Amino acid sequence: MGLAPDTPLRLSGELEAQPDTGFVKAIDEMLAEARREHPALLAAQARLKAAAASVEESRAAGRPSLALSANLARSHSDQAMAFNGDTRERDRSIGLQLNIPLFEGFERTYQVRNALARREASEAELADTEQQVSLEVWNNYQSLSVETRSLARTRELVEQSRQSLEVVQGRYRSGVGSMIELLNALTAYASAEDQHIRALGNWQTSRLRLAASLGRLGLQMI
């Protein structure tokens, strides 16, 4: 290396500290949260509500209806005294209106059946969406758990190789260790750093995938 045996060796830098994994909740809690807040599920629920309302509207269109109406009118006319002077009139009326739909063959029955079919399709869509979201959350949660354990292992490997390198450095400075031993220790430490960096990248990717499956945006949302 072209250095004196007593020259202290400095590592290029420190790895990023172990990321915070306290955000990881219990899987049951995450599944429940996804069912409440996932945009795809909220949209499917809205479509189901609209389909159910269409069924009620179709049924109501074929039923008799009763409407209450009220009217209040005032009139004022100016006349000469010879014609009994001014006159004021008030007209009040209250009425009930009964509407009975005419028979239109079976068209209204078909409308109700079509509305029911759309509601059933919306129910099936909601069930499929919920199953898909739950499966994605489960898979991404398990993937993140695996990457979290891998990240911890590579961090331990970095610390172990760092300690070994410090021991070899001491031996080299004291003239006991060889250059080959020092180079091997440096290579082992660099390899451990590389593994940890890859593990950190995989962990961040898994974290983003879990956030996406929960219907969230960005790392700050998980």
pLDDT in tens, 136-154: 999 999 999 999 999 999 9
Record the pTM.
0.63
pLDDT at residue 126 tops 90: yes
Nearest CA among 220, 211, 219 for reference residue 39: 211
Section 97-117 average pLDDT: 73
- Residue 4: its pLDDT value, please? 40
Residues 6+ apart with CB under 8 A from 58: 108, 111, 112, 114, 115
As a whole number of angstroms, the distance between CA 154 and CA 198 comes to: 9
Element (H, E) at 73: strand 65-77
Q: What is the pLDDT of residues 24-76, one digit of tens each?
A: 568 888 888 888 889 999 999 999 999 999 888 887 776 665 566 666 666 65
In terms of Cβ atoms closer than 10 Å to its own Cβ (0-12, 13-18, 19+), residue 123 is middle
Sequence ranges of the domains in the chain? 27-64+106-221
Answer CATH for 27-64+106-221 from 3.40.50.720, 3.90.320.10, 3.30.565.10, 1.20.1600.10: 1.20.1600.10
- Residue 7: its pLDDT value, please? 45
As a whole number of angstroms, the distance between CA 186 and CA 189 comes to: 5
pLDDT at residue 174 tops 80: yes
Q: What is the pLDDT of residues 5-19, one digit of tens each?
A: 434 445 444 555 555
